[in-house]
A and B are shown apart, each in its own frame.
Chain A
Amino acid sequence: MVRAPEWEMYIVWYFFLGGIAGGAFFAAAIADNFGGRRDREIAKVGYFIAFPLALICGALLTLDLGTPSRFLNMLRMFKFWNPMSIGSWGLGAFGVFTVLCAALSLGESEERLALRRNIAKVGSLFGFFLAAYTGVLLSNTAQPIWRDARLMGALFLASGASTGLASIAVISYFRGANLGESWSKLKKADTFAMVVELILLFALVLMLGPAADPLTKGRFALPFWGGLVALGLVIPLALSFVKAGGGKERTAGGTLAIVSVLVLIGGFLLRYVVIMAGQL
């Protein structure tokens, strides 16, 4: 007879936004370091997404404690084997990298660019960490579903990548940025992340076996199958492949924006159903 920790919407939002922040940041770092001149616009959007989200993430965790000042108690220990402990430190460190990269995205000088790229390379490690550790945290508790989900961290990381890229795409679209071939790169990256996420999700459910029932049957069946799987992954993937033919740049961007909104909904539902179904 285990007891649910009563982690509610603060934690759902934190897991969701933390995934986006981490994913947008490491996607930006990769685009910045290995992409071309035009990909820098994507990179900047990624940094500008990660920075405020990292702040919001800290605020959400602090609010969840009830007495916000007690967040400082997290910083009296460094238990590197404890996901929540290094998660707190990791989020703090990640925040520093996002501030630096966002600040260095304000100007155009070559020196700033070079510095930003190098900082982003190191920071991307914390981005990967932030997207994944929340899953490892869940899978190392005594709660049903969570405790047997060996792939939870891997899945959350893939979801962080897909939602991070999706948020970059949505914001770029509404900015009306002229991204040229960067659209197709963004799309390629997001499609890849979605495929990996879908595979990991099915592997996770298969590995859970009957333990997955609270997630896949009953009251969470609809948000899981209809929301996360169909609306959040299968439909956007289908849209990406169907429209692969090309067409005008603006339409390509439009499709990507629609796909991205669906991916974001799916990413939120993933955190929601996993957190809620584990505490039934």
Chain B
Amino acid sequence: MAKTLAMFTDTSVCTGCRACQVACKQWNQLSMEKPEWTGTYQNHEHFTEKTWRLVRFKEKRAEDGRLKFLMMSDVCKHCAQAGCLEACPTGAIYRTQFGTVNVNQDVCNGCRNCVSSCPFGVIAFSYETGRVNKCTFCNDRIHNDMPTACAKTCPTQSIQFGEREELVTRAKKRLAELKVQGEKEANLYGVDENGPLGGLNAFFLLLDKPSNYGLPEDPKLPQRNVKTDSAFSIGSALLLGAGLLVAFRERGGNGEGGGEE
């Protein structure tokens, strides 16, 4: 088993140049899309089936009253406990030997259950192909010992690629540095393997609360309640079954009805 690969996106050094977004499009041959007006430099509003790396620009008013950008290059998180993978009924979504989550385009049948089950709204349906798309973690590149296109191209090393263990160490060190420099709100998102979703294989260093970047504070595996919900359903079935049985039961003679009386 190969070692788990990861991407560490350090938003503190992101300059919003969007080289990653372009590199992703180029390498993965994702065609052009109509731009959207989002009110900031960000384009698009959210991931699409053809935008797998997306630089988010969030405006924040600093203490001195000036506006500053929170910039973050967002991507599929390749969760250790992945909602999309759990949701997929065909087995099209699978985990690679590197721990990344991928969609087998030949098997996907377009049911969109994964779309409804991604806590981050990453995976997107394409009406052109009738299948879903998302970041592949440059599956072709990592199987040939190359880093992902976005990490390779990032001029400020905001996106770092490597073995997860090593990157986690690096991220923790970087966080400590930033704290010393006075970035009180800085935090690591998705590093903890015992944390939400078993840890994210694309994790982040944020300068503000996750919700200010549009990320859920405490993402949860959507399928964690299957047993509970099924139990409630079985209870409902027993109740209605019993009710209907009483309603239809033949009183008195009960000649041939045969039954539970």
Contacts and interface: CB of A to CB of B under 8 A. Distances in A.
Interface in A145-201: 146-147, 150-155, 157-158, 161, 165, 185-186, 188-189, 192-193, 196, 200
A244 B86 CA distance: 49
Nearest to B91: A77
A143 to B, nearest CB: 5
Q: Give the dominant DSSP class at A's interface.
A: helix
A74 B90 contact: yes
A154 B110 contact: no
B107 interface: yes
A76 B233 contact: no
Contacts of A67: 109-110, 130
A7 B111 CA distance: 9
Interface residues of B, number: 60
A247 interface: no
Given A77-B89, A143-B116, A150-B232, A34 B243 contact: no
B116 A5 contact: yes
B223 A140 contact: yes
A74 B121 contact: no
A2 interface: yes
Interface stretch (A24-32, A51-59, A264-272): A24-32
Nearest to B243: A192
A85 interface: yes
Contacts of A6: 112, 115, 125
Interface in B184-207: none
Contacts of A185: 247-248
A189 B108 CA distance: 42
Nearest to B230: A136
Contacts of A158: 236, 240
A248 interface: no
Contacts of B229: 135-136, 139-140, 150-153
Contacts of B124: 3
A65 B125 CA distance: 11
Contacts of A71: 109
A33 to B, nearest CB: 7
Interface of A: 1-7, 26-27, 30-31, 33-37, 39, 42, 64-67, 70-71, 73-74, 76-77, 79, 81-85, 87-88, 117, 124, 128, 132-133, 135-137, 139-143, 146-147, 150-155, 157-158, 161, 165, 185-186, 188-189, 192-193, 196, 200
Nearest to A70: B109
17 contacts: A3-B122, A30-B241, A34-B260, A35-B248, A36-B250, A70-B130, A73-B107, A79-B89, A79-B91, A132-B237, A137-B113, A142-B121, A143-B116, A150-B228, A153-B232, A157-B236, A192-B244
B160 to A, nearest CB: 24
A3 B123 contact: yes
B137 to A, nearest CB: 19
B20 to A, nearest CB: 19
B257 interface: yes
Contact of A36 (B83, B121, B243, B257): B257
6 nearest A-B residue pairs (beta carbon): A154-B236, A70-B109, A153-B233, A3-B121, A189-B247, A5-B112
